[in-house]
Structure 1
């Protein structure tokens, strides 16, 4: 698997500097210490899910680009681009079928792009498309893993839809606390404060789709 976290820090630093924002300014806004943010940028620490979304939102960068910066759906050997041959008669709306090939992503289990975060949280990208406001991934929460170590709620743009493959995860959405287990599914507005926590003894695995997740500017 391909892990963008290996150069996530330098990439975030480059984005921050391009935005002409100082390390202290970003740290103050995100309510983290400058030293912690510096450690993330230097690859010495891994952000939590909450911190990753906060940085993404503040810098105006879709979380999806954190995968895409090192995982190209058309050119990378980690992804196979399916060739499409037109199967329709001429002069039909579907004559544009050949254009679809550039928007198809086939990813094998061995070649997924992966984000590994603190406390045992892993996101594995299931498809790489040009849609920057969509995340389609398998999420894994190891026993005891959560959105962040402090139990703070996460807020970001978009809607989330998930299906549990294995294990169980506790999901807090606003004032509601729900337990999502195998073969159950869920959908919710991500602008409602929320967090995930695996309180069980087995890893939780789920298929997750986040739509409209481009940070507000």
Structure 2
């Protein structure tokens, strides 16, 4: 779980919300919120969207920086690695505005039903998320397959597998090499309808400052 529950709890406390208050606004049971905060359950993608909106935080804040930072250097990569291109600017002002990440150092989140987000790059820019997303066979972005909308625009590129994307009344089946883009305020849901793992590169840019929402 990479302490995701602890980070949600910390954000809730900073926002001045009780456990029951968060549950009420997210339309889930207090016991479910407690299970998530204690690491006994994993939230769905849609539930995490709701928490981020209610707590007025960026989903980026919920990624576990420690899990990425503790990974050993690979072939000279990492913050101080000799092969990290960012070092071409050190000690330049640009070093704080460039993000280069080796696969072994990606911060990530594990969601319910076999959904995983890997952050591909992180800069100080607010309201955006650049991710590699992985869906296990049968995995969906919402429990029960409900359609959910959120702020922003969403763009995706399929690297592997098959993904069914329902946007409003339209249903699209994406395969390797396919791309899409849509207004994320339209209720939608993603589902891996294939027999193999789905992998894609996703970019979401929010209209609302400070509240990016990764792909649903």
Range class of TM-score, shorter chain: 0.7 to 0.9
What is the rounded CA distance, in whole Å, between the counterparts of 2:45 and 2:211 in structure 1?
Answer: 15
1:183 equivalent in structure 2: 177
Runs of 4+ displaced beyond 6 Å: none
What is the rounded CA distance, in whole Å, between the counterparts of 1:187 and 1:204 in structure 2?
Answer: 18
Aligned mate of 1:110, from 94, 104, 112: 104
Aligned mate of 1:10, from 6, 20, 31: 6
The higher radius of gyration belongs to 1
1:124 equivalent in structure 2: 118
- Secondary structure in 1 matching 2:100: coil
1:49 equivalent in structure 2: 45
Aligned mate of 2:26, from 23, 26, 30: 30
Residues 159 and 200 in structure 2, CA contact (< 8 A), matched pair in contact too? yes
Across the aligned residues of Structure 1 and Structure 2, the Cα RMSD in angstroms comes to: 2.1
TM-score of the superposition, structure 1-length normalised? 0.84
- Secondary structure in 1 matching 2:31: helix
Deviations 1:139-179 (A, max 9, x none): 01111000022111122111111100011100011111111
What is the rounded CA distance, in whole Å, between the counterparts of 2:118 and 2:49 in structure 1?
Answer: 16
1:50-69 matched pairs, under 5 angstroms: 50-67=46-63
TM-score of the superposition, structure 2-length normalised? 0.85
1:166 equivalent in structure 2: 160
What is the rounded CA distance, in whole Å, between the counterparts of 2:9 and 2:94 in structure 1?
Answer: 35
What is the rounded CA distance, in whole Å, between the counterparts of 1:6 and 1:147 in structure 2?
Answer: 19
Deviations 1:94-120 (A, max 9, x none): xxx932221111111122111111101
| Count of residue pairs brought into register by the alignment | 199
Stretches of structure 1 that go unaligned for 5 or more consecutive residues are 87-96
1:21 equivalent in structure 2: 17
Identify if the C-alpha distance between structure 1 residues 85 and 49 changes in structure 2 by more than 3 Å, giving closer, same or farther. closer
What is the rounded CA distance, in whole Å, between the counterparts of 1:7 and 1:77 in structure 2?
Answer: 14
